[in-house]
Amino acid sequence: MIDSGLAQISRALADGKVSSTELTQDYLKRIAAENGDLNAYITVCEELALSQAKAADARRSKGEAGDFTGIPIAHKDLFCTQGIRTSCGSRMLDNFIAPYNATVVERFNAAGAVTLGKTNMDEFAMGSSNETSFYGPVKNPWDRSRVPGGSSGGSAAAVAARLCAGATATDTGGSIRQPASFTNITGLKPTYGRVSRWGMVAFASSLDQAGTMTQSAEDAALMLNVMAGLDTRDSTCSDVPAEDYTAALDRPLDGLKIGIPVQHFSEGLEPAVEQAIRDAIAEYEKMGATVREVSLDNSHLSVSAYYVIAPAEASANLSRYDGVRYGYRCDNPVDLEDMYKRTRSEGFGAEVKRRIMVGTYALSAGYYDAYYIKAQKIRRLIKNDFQRAFGEVDVIMGPTSPHTAFPIGSKNDDPVKMYLEDIYTIAVNLAGLPGISVPAGMVNGLPVGLQIVGRDFAEAQLLNVAHKFQQVTDWHTQAPAK
């Protein structure tokens, strides 16, 4: 049963073919066997999971179960979970036990989900390979010498290796979609504000967005049904009403207008990846969609703008980690200044310190206008490009990544190469739009992802478009060898 998707598991639980307790025990056994090598989980919550599973079975026996009751999932380790370590992949928070639940965790608990554990991630979500984690790199289940992508690589690897039925994740510049592409799963980044950020440890507050890692678009719709909706504790959470995201999954695609950004099919895209993406788009044409080229004129500026805005916001958000209130504190500081310096020097990893320094510089007197304000103006131009494109088409499609998963350690000496990993995904975050990556092929035994981008709050349409593709292809059903 643990090889099945979330929707299949939900139906099996409803039909009494399996109990939540049996299912949870099976997942815990698989985690015990595989996680030592994959390193997908930082914390495994065996006692909590079994107690939640028992409670879910009791709910079901009373006829009080919903679609999600008893389904075992995992949470990325930046969602606060009451009484459980929330480390953010950092030494700085290695000893932090969250005193409350994030809204996302609250909503899954209320729905009766089972929490198997907390997944590994790039430190404070800063990275594109899951190699910056204090707990070591996560391995890609398809080839354990390669990265799973980042920063949500632990969630991606856990879903791909069938160590959970689904997982929460976050996306600041591609951190759901890129690892989904590398591991052959479906990764959904909703519209900014669609899902509450309350209780989610912040990296870049105007870009961070919680989303889902699942086997299929149908599974993603079920998870989004739990997560989406207004939260008054989060001032950036939208009051646009949430929908039943499973309701329109089977709607036909006749008349769908697909835009292909010319900038995403240029130099740097591996030919075999391009062919896989073009083959995937051809499947949509068979289903009645029409395809035309669109231009995102300022997309080439997205990486540069992002790496001013995101580090600037990170430098502000991470200023709270000073050894005074919670988290890591250096040993035997001689005075307050020594404690600040040593705590931050010892508690943060190299990539986090690099981004804090870049961000602090961009916000400093004399450089704020030259860098930060200019980057925000570019962000507006990027948003305008998408708005013009959506005046002509319904969705935009292209590759999620220019290549397949790369070897562990191959880009650690060149931060700029690592930053370019998100070249096709960052603009979507800057514009606040929803995007999804779906499995679309294989190149030399490694997965390729198709990125689909929609208008603001068009998650139902995105999931419909993704689901129809998965009804005529079987890429999403393929799993790595055990």
| pLDDT at residue 417 tops 90 | no
* Section 340-359 average pLDDT: 97
Residue 227: the pLDDT is 98
Calpha distance 10→26 (Å, rounded): 16
pLDDT tens-digit map of 153-181:
999 999 999 999 999 999 999 999 999 99
Query: Residue 311 has what DSSP assignment?
Result: H
The contacts of residue 155 (CB under 8 Å, 6+ apart) are 40, 74, 76, 119, 121, 167, 168, 169, 179, 213
End-to-end CA, the chain: 15
Strands (E), 49-200: 72-76, 114-119, 167-171, 186-189
| pLDDT at residue 482 tops 80 | no
pLDDT tens-digit map of 8-66:
999 999 999 999 999 999 999 999 999 999 999 999 999 999 999 999 999 999 999 99
Residue 267: the pLDDT is 83
Q: Where in the chain is the domain with CATH 3.90.1300.10?
A: 6-255+394-477
The string of DSSP letters for 172-233 reads SSSTTHHHHHHHT-EEEEPPTTSB--TTBPPSSTTT-EEEEEESSHHHHHHHHHHHBS--TT
Above pLDDT 70, what percent of the chain?
Answer: 100
Of the candidates 403, 462, 457, 419, the residue with the CA atom closest to the CA atom of residue 437: 462
Calpha distance 97→337 (Å, rounded): 26
| pLDDT at residue 266 tops 90 | no
pLDDT level of residue 481 (50, 70, 90 thresholds): confident
pTM (2 d.p.): 0.96
pLDDT level of residue 380 (50, 70, 90 thresholds): very high
Residue 92: the pLDDT is 98
What is residue 44's three-state secondary structure? Answer: strand
Please identify every residue annotated as catalytic.
Answer: 76, 151, 175
Calpha distance 19→79 (Å, rounded): 27
pLDDT tens-digit map of 94-139:
999 999 999 999 999 999 999 999 999 999 999 999 999 999 999 9
Among 81-90, 227-236, 415-424, name the one with the lowest average pLDDT.
415-424
- Helix or strand (DSSP H, E) at 453: strand 446-453
Residue 304 has which token pair? Answer: 């540069």
What is residue 114's three-state secondary structure? Answer: strand
Q: What is the CATH number of domain 6-255+394-477?
A: 3.90.1300.10
